[in-house]
Amino acid sequence: MTIRPLAVLAAVALPLVLPAAAQQPGTLAQVQQHLQAAQTMTAAFAQTDRAGKTLNGTLTLKKPGKVRFQYQKGVPLLIVGDGNALWFIDYSVRQVSRWPVRDSPLGVLLDPSRDVSRYAKVVPTGNPQVVSIEAHDPKRPEFGRLTMVFARNASAPGGLMLQGWVALDSQNNRTTVRLSNQRFNVPVSDGAFRWNDPRRSGGRR
pLDDT band, very low/low/confident/very high, at 8 (cuts 50, 70, 90) = low
CATH number for 5-182: choose from 3.40.50.2000, 1.10.3720.10, 2.40.160.40, 2.50.20.10.
Answer: 2.50.20.10
What is the residue extent of each domain of the chain?
Answer: 5-182
Closest CA to 169 of 205, 142, 201, 134: 142
For 181-197, write each residue's pLDDT tens digit: 999 999 999 999 999 99
What was the pLDDT predicted at 174? Answer: 87
For 39-91, write each residue's pLDDT tens digit: 999 999 999 988 899 999 999 999 988 999 999 999 999 999 998 888 999 99
DSSP 7: H
Question: Contact at 8 Å (CB) between 193 and 66?
Answer: yes
Question: Could you write out the DSSP letters of every residue in 88-128?
Answer: EEETTTTEEEEEEGGGSTTHHHH-TTS-GGGT-EEE--S-T
